[in-house]
Amino acid sequence: MTPRFLMSTACSCCLVCLATFQLPAHAFAAAENSSDSAHFSPFTGKVTRNKVRLRLQPSLEGQVVRELDCGDMLVIVDERDDFFAVRPPADIKGYVFRPYVIDGTIEGNHVNVRLLPDTEAPIIAQLNGGDYVDGAICPTASKWYEITLPSTAQLWVCKEYLEQIGPPNFMAETARRRGEANALLSDAFIAAQQQMAKPFPSIVPSIT
């Protein structure tokens, strides 16, 4: 057997192997999307008009979860085409069928987290065995567990109605500072009320 024949045979085998183990097209697409996500920098965005729709899917046909008002802030974690992926607001809850939750831990794989306590409700995310959930029995539907949405849950908003206003922790920091300001105002009001309840000569004005 000549060296040229051996080389030709080896090249043919390599081509056959490459053809046999070629990844399907969707695998390349997934890898490409993953690469794009890895380079996305999360930020805090502000809604620029009223009645902006927060959706379950990045499409104008995606189911509407709620409508947002001008000035509402959102943490943006990813993007796809004309939509931003949004970290769900804290007041949006998810629902898991109660038999899958034991002592706050998920039993089973690919357990659906739904938008409402109903088996026909849209799926927001999925959980797997061992995942911890923060929640309690749903007060209006005892067969369901009401939980804080997992970090994997994403909602979507059209890019054109959002502007970047700061880093991803900007919204949390703003809420913290607003809470501190409200607490100071409340303390000042209570102190003023207490002073006003005293006889006039005993009132001590506060300048601080």
Per-residue pLDDT reduced to its tens digit, 120-138: 999 999 999 999 999 999 9
Q: Both ends of the chain: CA-CA distance in Å?
A: 99
pTM of the model: 0.66
Domains identified in the chain and CATH numbers: 29-87+152-167 (2.30.30.40), 93-150 (no CATH)
Query: pLDDT by residue (tens digit) across 144-172?
Result: 999 999 988 999 999 999 999 998 887 77
Beta strands in 3-154 (DSSP E): 43-47, 52-55, 64-68, 73-80, 83-86, 93-97, 101-102, 105-106, 111-114, 123-127, 135-137, 144-148
